[in-house]
C-alpha cells in the first residue's frame, strides 16, 4: 500500500448536515417535507442526481432549466454555510490519523464527488494533509464509477492496486472496488458490508489497524 484516498463528506468532515439544510430549504419552498432519513439517499450522490431524488420524493416535475436554477439556488445556500466552517468541524480522530500517515511517508489524496471540495479543505485547514485532490470538478462520471479514485491515483503517480480508499457511502465502496482498490467503510457494517473493513469513525484508528 503506497497511498490512501479519502472521500470528504462524511469521512473527514460532516458537511451532510449543511447539504440537508440547503436541500430542505428548497423542499420547503416547493411545499413538501424532506426528512433527515430522506437525506441519507443523497450521500455521495452528485448534485444533479441529488436534486432528481429530492424531486421524486416530493412528486415534483421540473423542466431542465428550472432544475439548473434550483440546483444553483441550493448550492448558493450550501456555500454560505460551508464558508463559515472551522477546523472544529473536522470529524473526531481524523487529524491524528492524517498526521501519522504523513509522518509515515504515505501519499494521500481526496476523492470526492463535491465541486465544493476546495472551499471545505481551505475552511477546515485540511488542505495541508493532501498531496492531491480529485473532486467533482475533474470528473464526469459519479460513484460507483471509479473515475474520481482513478484520477486520485493518477495525480499521486501510483497504481490503483496500491491505494486504499476510505468511504462512508455504499456507492463509494463500489467505486473503490471498480477502481481495483480496497475500501475501508466509515460507518455501519449494515450499509458498508462490501468494504474489506468497516470502522465506526477514526477515533483511536492507527495505521497498524489497516489489515486486510
Q: Which residues are catalytic?
A: 7, 9
The SS3 call for residue 20 is helix
Q: Using CA atoms, how far apart are residues 27 and 3, in angstroms rounded to an integer? A: 40
Kindly state the number of chain residues that form the binding site for ligand B16, as judged by CB under 6 A: 20
Q: Using CA atoms, how far apart are residues 129 and 183, in angstroms rounded to an integer? A: 20
The residue among 125 and 206 lying less far from ligand B16, judged by its C-beta, is: 125
112 binds ligand B16 (CB under 6 A): yes
The residue among 150 and 169 lying less far from ligand B16, judged by its C-beta, is: 169
CB of 142 to ligand B16, least distance (A): 8
Judged by CB under 6 A, the residue of 2, 41, 67, 115 near ligand B16 is 115
Judged by CB under 6 A, the residue of 24, 50, 109, 123 near ligand B16 is 50
124 binds ligand B16 (CB under 6 A): no
Please list the residues that pair with 133 across neighbouring strands.
110
Element housing 178 (H / E): helix 170-178
CB of 158 to Mg ion, least distance (A): 22
Residue 90 binding result from ligand B16, Mg ion, none, given CB thresholds of 5 to 8 Å by partner type:
none
Q: Using CA atoms, how far apart are residues 150 and 134, in angstroms rounded to an integer? A: 9
Q: Using CA atoms, how far apart are residues 128 and 29, in angstroms rounded to an integer? A: 39
Q: Which of residues 133-192 bind ligand B16 (CB under 6 A)?
A: 136, 169
* 71 neighbors 51 (Cβ within 8 angstroms): yes
8 binds ligand B16 (CB under 6 A): yes
127: cell is 488542505
Rounded-to-10 torsion of CA 168, 91, 98, 82: 90
Residue 19 binding result from Mg ion, ligand B16, none, given CB thresholds of 5 to 8 Å by partner type:
ligand B16
**Contact residues: ligand B16, CB under 6 A:** 7-10, 19, 42-47, 50, 75, 112-116, 136, 169
Amino acid at each position: 500500500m503506497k497511498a490512501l484516498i479519502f472521500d470528504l463528506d462524511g469521512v473527514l468532515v460532516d458537511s451532510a448536515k449543511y447539504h440537508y439544510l440547503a436541500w430542505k430549504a428548497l423542499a420547503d419552498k416547493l411545499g413538501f417535507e424532506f426528512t433527515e432519513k430522506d437525506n441519507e439517499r443523497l450521500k455521495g450522490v452528485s448534485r444533479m442526481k441529488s436534486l432528481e431524488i429530492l424531486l421524486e420524493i416530493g412528486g415534483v416535475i421540473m423542466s431542465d432549466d428550472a432544475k439548473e436554477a434550483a440546483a444553483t439556488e441550493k448550492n448558493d445556500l450550501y456555500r454560505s454555510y460551508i464558508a463559515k466552517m472551522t477546523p472544529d468541524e473536522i470529524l473526531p480522530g481524523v487529524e491524528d490519523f492524517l498526521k501519522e500517515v504523513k509522518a509515515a511517508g504515505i501519499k494521500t489524496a481526496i476523492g470526492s464527488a463535491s465541486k465544493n471540495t476546495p472551499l471545505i479543505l481551505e475552511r477546515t485547514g485540511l488542505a495541508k494533509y493532501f498531496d492531491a485532490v480529485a473532486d467533482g470538478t475533474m470528473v464526469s462520471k459519479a460513484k460507483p464509477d471509479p473515475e474520481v479514485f482513478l484520477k486520485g491515483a493518477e495525480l499521486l503517480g501510483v497504481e490503483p492496486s496500491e491505494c486504499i480508499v476510505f468511504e462512508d457511502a455504499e456507492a463509494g465502496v463500489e467505486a473503490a472496488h471498480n477502481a481495483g482498490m480496497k475500501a475501508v467503510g466509515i460507518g455501519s457494517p449494515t450499509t458498508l458490508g462490501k468494504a474489506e473493513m468497516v470502522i465506526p469513525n477514526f477515533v483511536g484508528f492507527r495505521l497498524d489497524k489497516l489489515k486486510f
